[in-house]
Structure 1
Amino acid sequence: MPINWNSQMSKKSTTRFLTSTLLLTSFFLSFSASANSNVWEGTPFLSFSLADQTGKIRTNQEFSGKWLVVYFYPKDKTPGCTIEAQNFTDDYAKYQALGVEIVGVSYDDIAAHKDFAETYELPFTLLADTEAQLSKAMKVDRLLPWPHASRQTFLVNPQGIIVQHFKKVKPKEHSAELLKSIRRHQENKS
């Protein structure tokens, strides 16, 4: 025989039960979201071996002992990606003064990266993650509306440890935000 909730519980009890359930659900969802946002911080950046815009194979070992910005982006020459790359280019001397290398990663191939770098005179490395191996390993891969790397950035210290993960990136503001963060981390020697 099915339970008739109206006969088993008063309206006041039902309201209390639903309110408690909603509060608990809300608590667990917010805890899960905040715990998830720091999943990479404090862990070593994953090993990679990918071709850059010149066809040269680049590995994470060659950046050992340096501060490193690894930024993932959806596609060469699209509006947001171009703005982000141009801002990194405009601020490149500031990154160099702080001893920071910049590496961009997308699913685009070597030829597309070469064209993008030459068109906008990008002074930093672009890696062709055409098989999405690094993007999948770093959990930045997206399938919709087309397969691409989502716009996320990892700040890696000279020991190869991720000290900050930027999961939500605004192309226009990101370089300035990143420079502030790098200075803060370098002052704290993280």
Structure 2
Amino acid sequence: MLQQGTKAPDFSLPDKDNHPVSLSDFKGKKVILYFYPKDNTKGCTTQACTFRDAYSEFEALGAVVIGVSKDSTRSHTNFASKYELPFLLLSDPETQVIQAYDVWKEKKMYGKTYMGIVRTTYIIDEAGMIEKVYEKVKPAENADQILEHLKGEA
């Protein structure tokens, strides 16, 4: 994982509408950058919906929420539409940004080993520095954890 206090790698990835989005577009704002394994799966849907439900609070705090996975822009369009997700979903099918943020790891399920995204959330400050890292987050708790941190309650 990238460490707190280090510069967040800049990137440019397409959003669900295939428009390029860069981290540097949000200089001067706090960015919640969360990496998740796959659209429309139970844990990922839970996590996205908790960010959706708390979205007005993130906006009130001046924070931008961005989700990143390997899924296609088309998959993101369907996912965002189905669950009315108001925040950005970025597509990284080549895993360049996923690897730059060190969340592409060996995983095991049902005795099989494979490479995949380890659910991780980074809070990036207004200057582009990593303020906080949440590793192996629980989907239902992640948005609340972030809000507590942003409000100074964590």
TM-score of the alignment, normalized to the shorter chain, above 0.5: yes
- Tell me the matched-pair count: 148
Residues 119/151 of structure 1: CA separation in 2 closer, same or farther (3 Å cut)? same
Judging by fraction of residues, say which structure has more helix. 1
Cα-to-partner distance string for 1:63-84 (whole Å, 9 max, x where unaligned): 1100000000000000000000
Q: Which amino acid aligns with 1:93?
A: S
Give SS of 2:6's match. coil
User: Whole-Å Cα distance in 1 between the matches of residues 74 and 151 of structure 2?
Assistant: 34
Match of 2:8 in 1: 45
Matches within 5 A, 1:93-132: 93-132=56-95
- Stretches of 4+ moved more than 2 A in 1? 142-148
Please report the RMSD computed on the Cα atoms of aligned residues, expressed in angstroms: 1.4
Residue in structure 1 matching 2:101, options 138, 152, 160: 138
Bigger drift between 148-157 and 72-81 goes to 148-157
Q: Which amino acid aligns with 2:131?
A: V
**TM-score for the superposition, normalised by structure 2:** 0.91
Identity %, equivalent residues:
37
Unmatched tracts of structure 2, length 5 or more: 108-112
Greater relative contact order: 1 or 2 (C-alpha under 8 angstroms, separation 6 or more)? 2
Residue in structure 2 matching 1:182, options 138, 147, 150: 150
User: Whole-Å Cα distance in 1 between the matches of residues 106 and 133 of structure 2?
Assistant: 21
**TM-score for the superposition, normalised by structure 1:** 0.75
Whether 1:162 and 2:130 are equivalent positions in the alignment is yes
Q: Which amino acid aligns with 2:49?
A: Q
Judging by fraction of residues, say which structure has more strand. 2
Q: Which amino acid aligns with 2:66?
A: V
